[in-house]
Chains A and B, each alone.
Chain A
Amino acid sequence: MKRRDFLWLLGVISGSTVMSACGSPNRSAKFTSYLLPPEEGIVPGEASFHPSTCTECPAGCGVLARVREGRPVKLEGIPGHPVSDGGLCVRGQSSLYRLYHPERLRTPMARDGGKLRPIPWEEAFSRVAESLKGSREKGRKNLFLSGRTTGSLSRLADAACERLGIERLPEYEVYSHTGVKEANALLFGERDVPRYRIEESDFLLTVGADLIETYVSPVAYTRSISSARAGGEFLWYHVEPHMSLTGANADRRFTVAPGAERILLSFLLREVVGRRTPKSGLPGELLAAFPETTAEKVSRETGIPTEAVAEIADRLVAAKRPLLIAGGVGTEQPGGLETASAAALIQYAAGAIPERVDFTRSENYRNVGTLQDMEGMSARMGRGEAGVVFLFRTNPVFSLPPRLAFRENLKKAQLTVGMGEFLDETVREADLVLPLSHSLESWGDVEPRRGVVSLLQPVLPPLYDTLTDGDAILSLLGNLPGKGSAGGYRDLLAAAWEKRLGEAGRRRLLEKGYIEETLPSRPVSLDGRRAANGLRDAGPVEKPVKPVLILAPSIRTFDGRSRNLPLLSEIPDPLTTITYGPWISVSPETAARAGLQDRDGVTAASADWKAALPVKVQPGLPDGVFVVYRDALPSPPVRTDRRTGGAVDRIEGVGITKTGKKAEIPILSGSFSQQGRGLIPDPVHLDSERRHKRWTLYPEHEHKVYRWAMAVDLERCNGCAACVAACHVENNVPVVGAGDHLKGREMSWLRIEPFYEKGEVEFLPMLCQQCDNAPCESVCPVFAAYHNPEGLNVQVYNRCVGTRYCSNNCPYKVRRFNWWQHHWPEPSDRMVNPDVQVREVGMMEKCTFCIQRIRSAKDKARDEGRKVRDGEFTTACAQSCPTGALTFGNMLDKESGVYRLAHSARAYRVFESLGTESSVHYLRGRKP
């Protein structure tokens, strides 16, 4: 061969080898950035924020949707929003998982021979119209049942129902707050839940109301409690029959015998009326409805020690601006009417109305009906009176007790139309299924509190062939909107806003996402005689039969409606650290008597009901009380309180028997005790453990411009886990499921560790401590874990080979290993944050103080030729925190919040003695 030929051949061979390697079939999906943005307003690589409102629960918190390349990837609270003021709870943070849920309804469906079959919208609506006509001819009543609606949608539904001759039933909510509403109606003629201004009070007594978890507007309450505490003189006592997160966070928590709340409150009412100055005028005949008693007697009946009863009374009498909130498990029970009435009267007598208990801005629960209303509806359907039944965003089949036979009676209606996002227990029963858009795909408004208009606006086009709530109802009226939705609900809304708020107001609403109107104040007056008669006519209160099983609302799933969001199952329940699966909480005494341990299977049974559940021994839970979260029991056998029509959210006379089987439920905490290790030290000892200079052979790290750090105020942290959800969504932390949780392989970068001592619990948020002397860095053989010049322990994911030594050597155990290649099932892959790498199998991952946010803030600052300012941006966890417990910033900036907090006398670091020199400073103990 000639040299020339050889070179020619070599060139051909190497060229073709290289060329053929280029077209790997797996790499055919290319990511290319746009040369021209596909739509106006989309700047590739840049996020835009659009205000909207969270619809995960009825509270109506404002959210800013962070949109990247036309897809919302994160929800954050709107600072200044009248309800949530920048906070967002764990459910709100998770609600993107609802938008992108793989099981969402994608098209209208009709029942065809027992099976649901897709049909076009036109056909769906013509079927409805036909049936409406048919039922009118047959003399049947058409019914419209919805969950709580407010604002324009509620008015539209009213109008539509009136035009079509449909009867709009009272709205159905599991947590209807009937006891409170009925008491307020009886006393003041206001059938609603007032707005409580906790921030204005100096002493708060809550009875049963789970302010932090679900009660009416938890983020709003959480923020007000925080600001009240920040103000200094504020004390919060909580009385409850079980153990809740709210109770755990009160300054003092008292457990009361179930049903005995009214006895305590009667006593307190008389104390306040008798001892508080200035004397308040309370009609004598009304006072007579609350029997006179003594602290000793109250103590005997409630189980609260006499001194404690006296102390509560003294505080209530002495406080300058007391506030009392009774609700939740405290009022939704027999005797709840008395409890709520006494509470309202104490407010009245203590002069809390209208400053702290404001009916002018009440919480818009007026249209919500009772369980008794549902009984009526079910009975009517059972009698064959119902024509077309609309079930609009409500799931009564799941939550109503079986004795109502709602599911069976539904079949007797001529046509049932299920409208919702999922094929849930109720929609599944419908003859016609109309899929609704998620609120992030919809125009609308809500009015969670009187005078607060909060905007709903689409931040992405509908993922599927769905209609927005408003358009769906409009379509019932016969005008099916075109694809551009011109002439649809959007135009209607625009006109309504313009009329109500004026042109400027409308623009402000669109820009800020909310508007708070000034309302004429609504004075309340007390009609003593009528109220006294009402209370007397209500009849005697039944005594509860112990032991009692309380169906508690859950911070993760509300009344059960959020239970199908994968992320919420992934995040542990704050009190028990259980992630997946239902359980029954049992008091330590009961457990000891029955020889029960965590995970033991039991059968819980009352006279007409039974369920098999695994046990979790719950410290702090009183004997004779069991707790199951509402989402764990479909169709629970709740009774109707005949005196108010409300539901009695408890099952009485429940006994448990051990089955001998162990159930697999993931309890993430390895120990509920600190084991004397001082993770949360006794504040008394804080001062004695001041740090001292350590000598080292290695050169110190130099930090030139920034040194990022965080302060965690444990007095503010209430364990609500909103930060955990925010971190998951922001950082593409995968949802791994129950199987891996059972093996202890949860992936969350941030966790809330509950530590119990003598039935009291404290919460410690644990995230990467970004140590200056990081044990993880020195052991990594490949420099995947390294120290960056800004004091972060960063992880170079692609360099990681997965020796996992870093995790072994981390005393805080905050590193997470990718045991599998994790997948985001379609379409949830669209919520992946493009700023954060999705980690591959075999890599270690961890918190890096949201380094992507640091980077974008630095980029922005550099463009403007300055340093990043304190508070200009913050991490996802700190952003979401409703209490403001987390403060992030630059330690080199002596003016920064984090510098101030880290140098406070209350500051300490976890495992200080190890010399890790961590950058997360915890604050412990009350402000001096």
Chain B
Amino acid sequence: MSTGEGARGNAEKYAKVDRDVLAAMKRPGRAYLAGLAFALLLAVVLHVLWAYQVRSGLGVVGKMHPVMWALYITNFVFWVGIAHSGTLISAVLFLFRARYRTSFNRAAEAMTVFALMVAGLFPLIHLGRSWVFYYLLPYPNQRQLWVNFRSPLVWDVFAVGTYFTVSLVFFYVGMIPDFAAAKQHVLGIRKKIYTALSLGWQGTQKEWRHYNMLYLFLAAFATPLVASVHSVVSWDFAMSIVPGWHTTIFAPYFVAGAILSGTAMVITLVVPMRKYLSLHDYITDGHFESIAKILLLTSLIVTYAYIVEFGLAWYGENIFERETFRYRLLGDYRYFTWTMLFCNSVVPLTLFARGLRRNTAYLFVVSILVNIGMWLERFVIIVTSLSHDYDPYAWGLYKPTFVCLGVDIGSFGLFFTLYLLFVKNLPVLSISEIKEHL
């Protein structure tokens, strides 16, 4: 690149990257607006139903004695799980210098932040008295009431809070050079906003040196969070004495599951995004193949965890544990369990075939199935364990109502609303990094 022609060639390439990526931020088409309107509608449904629930009491959801946790907590764990791959792809793959990361990292980070925002709603929706949610925070108060640090729910507040903060900072820091690039291509109020967000980025050598140090540091800081957040979420269950929950394998099992579901969600989001925004040059089939390998690996880990769980229940001679797993496999919720096993353990095995790994349409279908499977996994763990625990008199069946189903669907609406807004307003690929790799 020492010749002037080379430099000119690069400049052209850089301009093309700017054009292509920032083209995504042009005026939206009809399809986009329709999609956004639909997602927004669902998000409104969520809030209306929540208001209805607060007004009437939690009785409007299907929860009962003994299944006190059900869809809301399922969704919480599901969305926290989705949030997982953002950090994994961004931070961990950054540290490993995995190049294909560049194609996915922005989408994955955005997904993380939005999924966490959605996930964070669920513990609040789920509370019997959500208007006093602040009791859960350790704030100084006159009555010297404090939170119970022995409760995993308090750990949750910290774990998810930390993860959200770090993810948001990481997401933002990664975008600073891109904001600077973007501000040159827009006018009016948007220009002002991007200018403000770019924090006066000039792209000088010194800035880049500091920037790279910060980014590396943040990546290193975020990496342990990949393990910690979902471990802590899994302890919500593992720290209890409910058969089917109380097991030491939960932390790695949940982390693997979270990465599986997060990776699947990344594929679900990026496949249509690439098509709609014509980013085939930047997100290639090879990149998809790499991410599919992560999917396959984590699916194998999750399958291993399933085997261990059932195996221990069978081997352990604990009648409560045994009954819970028998019930999980053969009881009232057996179809959910079987679907879960099919989606999470069987379907991803097809990805051993290279051709299928490179087939984005197929990958899209697999990712949807894995998403369903992972959602069901959380549902199965939560509901089957609670409905058949120690005292047989108190056994009971949970059936969801329109309110919790509506809130569940609405949470997808909220997520996609945020994501669609992201697609049109922020650079969907890391421009600076793509240029770096040119």
Contacts and interface: CB of A to CB of B under 8 A. Distances in A.
Do these two chains interact?
yes
A851 interface: no
B241 interface: yes
A817 B320 CA distance: 24
A766 interface: yes
A783 B393 contact: no
B252 interface: no
Instruction: Output the residue of B64, B157, B236, B394 with the most chain A CB within 10 A.
Output: B394
A895 B147 CA distance: 39
B58 interface: yes
Given A780-B151, A804-B128, A809-B241, A743 B62 contact: yes
Contact of A673 (B130, B319, B392): B392
B290 interface: no
B390 interface: yes
A675 interface: yes
A781 B56 CA distance: 24
Contacts of B128: 800-804, 817-818, 841-844
A779 to B, nearest CB: 5
Interface stretch (A74-82, A332-340, A745-753): A745-753
Interface residues of A, number: 54
A603 interface: no
Given A779-B240, A805-B151, A670 B68 contact: no
Contacts of B395: 670-671
Contacts of B129: 800-802, 840-843
Given A675-B323, A753-B393, A782-B147, A807 B154 contact: no
Interface stretch (B131-139, B165-173, B363-371): B131-139
Instruction: Output the residue of A671, A799, A800, A805 with the most chain B CB within 10 A.
Output: A805
A671 B126 contact: no
A778 B150 CA distance: 6
B75 to A, nearest CB: 15
Contacts of A782: 135-136, 145, 147-148
Interface string A761-802: 000101000000001001111110000000000000001111
Interface string B40-62: 00000000000000001111001
Given A801-B128, A843-B128, A813 B391 contact: yes
Interface in A718-745: 740, 743-745
B435 interface: no
Contact of A670 (B57, B145, B323, B392): B392
A820 B58 CA distance: 7
A801 B240 contact: no
A808 B386 contact: yes
Contacts of B126: 803
Contact of B57 (A743, A780, A813, A819): A819
A841 B58 CA distance: 8
Contacts of A801: 127-130, 132-133, 135-136
Interface residues of B, number: 49
Nearest to A841: B57
B392 A779 contact: no
A677 B240 CA distance: 20
A821 B57 contact: yes
Interface in A661-713: 668-671, 673-677, 679
B277 to A, nearest CB: 42
B239 interface: yes
A817 B126 CA distance: 13
A842 B57 contact: yes
A820 B393 CA distance: 23
Nearest to B237: A808
A801 to B, nearest CB: 5
B392 A808 contact: no
A578 B56 CA distance: 27
Contacts of B157: 781
Contacts of B406: none
Interface string B99-137: 000000000000000000000000100111110110110
Contacts of B62: 743
Contacts of B240: 775, 779, 805, 808-809
A504 interface: no
Given A743-B62, A778-B150, A803-B153, A671 B392 contact: yes
Interface in B137-179: 145-148, 150-154, 157
B141 to A, nearest CB: 12
B327 to A, nearest CB: 11
B282 to A, nearest CB: 45
A766 B64 contact: no
Contacts of A464: none
A757 B57 CA distance: 40
Contacts of A671: 392-393, 395
B26 interface: no
B390 A677 contact: yes
A752 to B, nearest CB: 9
Interface string B371-407: 0000000000000001001111111110000000000
Contacts of A779: 150-153, 239-240
B57 A811 contact: no
A764 B64 CA distance: 22
Contacts of A816: 65
B242 interface: yes
Contacts of A669: 393
B323 A813 contact: no
Instruction: Output the residue of A740, A764, A804, A808 with the most chain B CB within 10 A.
Output: A808
B170 to A, nearest CB: 28
Nearest to A678: B319
Contacts of A809: 240-242
A147 to B, nearest CB: 37
Contact of A813 (B65, B130, B146, B148): B65
A805 B245 CA distance: 13
A764 B150 CA distance: 32
Contact of A780 (B148, B241, B319): B148
A49 interface: no
Contact of B148 (A675, A740, A783): A783
B69 interface: yes
Contacts of B319: 675-677
B68 A744 contact: no
Contacts of A751: 393
B59 A745 contact: yes
A237 interface: no
A811 B390 contact: yes
Instruction: Output the residue of B126, B157, B386, B389 with the most chain A CB within 10 A.
Output: B389
Contacts of A753: 391, 393
Instruction: Output the residue of A677, A781, A911 with the most chain B CB within 10 A.
Output: A781
A745 B56 CA distance: 16
Contact of A811 (B68, B69, B133, B391): B391
Nearest to B126: A803
Given A673-B392, A781-B154, A811 B241 contact: yes
A677 B323 CA distance: 11
A486 interface: no
Contacts of A812: 390-391, 394
Per CB-CB distance, the 10 closest pairs between chain A and chain B, nearest first, are: A802-B128, A670-B395, A842-B128, A819-B59, A671-B392, A813-B394, A804-B68, A842-B129, A811-B390, A781-B153
Given A766-B393, A783-B147, 18 more contacts: A670-B393, A670-B394, A677-B319, A778-B148, A778-B150, A778-B239, A779-B153, A779-B239, A800-B128, A801-B130, A804-B63, A804-B68, A804-B69, A809-B241, A816-B65, A820-B57, A842-B57, A843-B128
Interface of B: 56-59, 62-66, 68-69, 123, 126-130, 132-133, 135-136, 145-148, 150-154, 157, 236, 239-242, 319-320, 323, 386, 389-397
21 contacts: A670-B395, A744-B64, A744-B65, A751-B393, A766-B393, A775-B241, A779-B150, A779-B153, A781-B154, A782-B148, A801-B129, A803-B127, A805-B69, A809-B242, A812-B390, A812-B394, A817-B65, A818-B57, A820-B59, A840-B129, A841-B128
